[in-house]
Amino acid sequence: MAKIGLCCWAHFCPGKGSYKWCQILFLEKRLLGNDAQQEKKGNLGNGGGLWKRNLNGKGRVTKLKKQVIIVGGGAAGMLAALTARHHGAAVTLLERNPRVGKKILVTGNGRCNFTNINADYQCFQGGNPEFAKHALAVFGSEATMAFFAKLGVVPKVEEEGKVYPWSDQASSVLDLLRYELDDCGVDVVVDAFVQRIEKVGDGFRVELADGAFFTGDRLILAPGGKAKPSTGSDGNGYDLARSLGHTITPLYPGLVQLKLDGSFFPQVQGVKIKGTVALLDGTEFLGREQGDIIFGNYGLSGPPVFQLSTLVGPLLQAGRTPILQLTMIDQMSRAELTELLRDRFRQAPGKALAFSLVGFINKRLIPVVLKAAGFSDLKQPVGELTSAETERLVEILTNWRMVVRGTKSWPSAQVTVGGVLTGEINPETMESMLVPGLFFAGEIIDLTGRCGGFNLQWAWSSGYLAGKKAATLD
């Protein structure tokens, strides 16, 4: 267990020539009234006033109202810690790794896709996606961008509403969060693996694996899920939640690669195309996604596949056999594709079947596609193809179906599907309905967002709400 030192609350006021104890209120000109009134009106979700530093006129911190312990120094835990501290609580943040925020460094392929301007509860799945509605209204994407702008992150919006720091460095986002934790006086304890939590009277006793313990009035569980265990998310938080009486729904890897039937995948590993994938349960279409699709030696990857992967675990657990439909040519109708191929074959009837597709289909995919369409002689002159054979090729290019055998495991997953049952948590406070004073934030809750910044937005939204309410609720 190691400790990171604290610093004072002094802030330099430009033009004054000296340090002055200041009160900080985000976007104060856009706010009328106090936080409670604005939250009721829904204004906080529009980047309104978020935090006040509880300082009196003499330059001293006012009496701290609550002792808040936070388990987990990831995105949700750090935002909860900052918010609780800025609402007057004494905050201890316990992180099992030697440093907070390890998982943030791998988000957005190292660029940190920290929110999405389209974030909405309908972009989430779980037992009750509407659970996210209030938290996203209170602290949505606009408020998130305003918060990070105050820290120093210049945001830029890219395709599909994804928001990145202008630096394109996840490390810069983490550096600024760590600076703020230190600057506002959060007591960060690293190498702190929480082994046991007990409810003691109106408070909590948190015991570490090395025997050290902490006590507090409020406890926020934000330890992450099971995805990417190398970052410290090994599922220990679910055991802690269970020990406090909470229900954990079945857990599955989410936003992860799909393993598919087919011996040909090693031949085409690394090939990337733009296309459409859909997931079927029998004849029912469960979802359809479009974008970059990557072939691996196990099956398929890429954002569209990741989106659908969150639906696969429950199907397999129920004994179902999901089918993935791949549409390689999705920018024209089936009739247009048929006519294109016929014209192509008529123009050069002596060309071998495989060579006739060069310039239209990725060369490494051509033999695989033709074999999947039932062709054995790839050197057959295209002038000899029958209409039925052309239709077989059209079918595989627009409706290639593969059996889903599973997903890659937790080390490859970006998020956890499942978690603490939302019916046991108050969506307006993130407080447990079973254990007063216990709050939840982030991935530990049964709520999974789409790929594209939605899961980090949920971490910020739930962390903000949990931190504020832990510090202010009686």
Q: Which residue has the tokens 């002159």?
A: 381
Q: Are residues 277 and 349 in the same domain?
A: yes
Tell me the CATH number at 171. 3.50.50.60
Provide the pLDDT for residue 254.
97
Q: Are residues 200 and 238 in the same domain?
A: yes
Q: Are residues 203 and 302 in the same domain?
A: no
206 vs 65: CA distance, rounded Å: 20
Q: Are residues 233 and 275 in the same domain?
A: no
Element (H, E) at 414: none
Task: Tell me how many domains the chain contains.
Answer: 2
| pLDDT by residue, tens only, the chain of 474 residues | 654 433 322 222 223 232 222 222 333 333 223 444 434 333 343 333 344 333 333 333 445 589 999 999 999 999 999 999 999 999 999 999 999 999 999 999 999 999 999 999 999 999 999 999 999 999 999 999 999 999 999 999 999 999 999 999 999 999 999 999 999 999 999 999 999 999 999 999 999 999 999 999 999 999 999 999 999 999 999 999 999 999 999 999 999 999 999 999 999 999 999 999 999 999 999 999 999 999 999 999 999 999 999 999 999 999 999 999 999 999 999 999 999 999 999 999 999 999 999 999 999 999 999 999 999 999 999 999 999 999 999 999 999 999 999 999 999 999 999 999 999 999 999 999 999 999 999 999 999 999 999 999 999 999 999 999 999 998
pTM, whole model, 2 decimals? 0.86
Cβ-based neighbours of 172, under 8 Å, separated by 6 or more: 112, 153, 165
Residue 370: domain span:
257-407
Q: Are residues 34 and 145 in the same domain?
A: yes
Residue type, 388: A
Q: Are residues 177 and 69 in the same domain?
A: yes
- Three-state secondary structure along 178-234? HHHHHHHCCEEEECCCEEEEEEECCEEEEEECCCCEEEECEEEECCCCCCCHHHCCC
Provide the pLDDT for residue 65.
81
Q: Are residues 27 and 166 in the same domain?
A: yes
Beta bridge partners of 252: 417
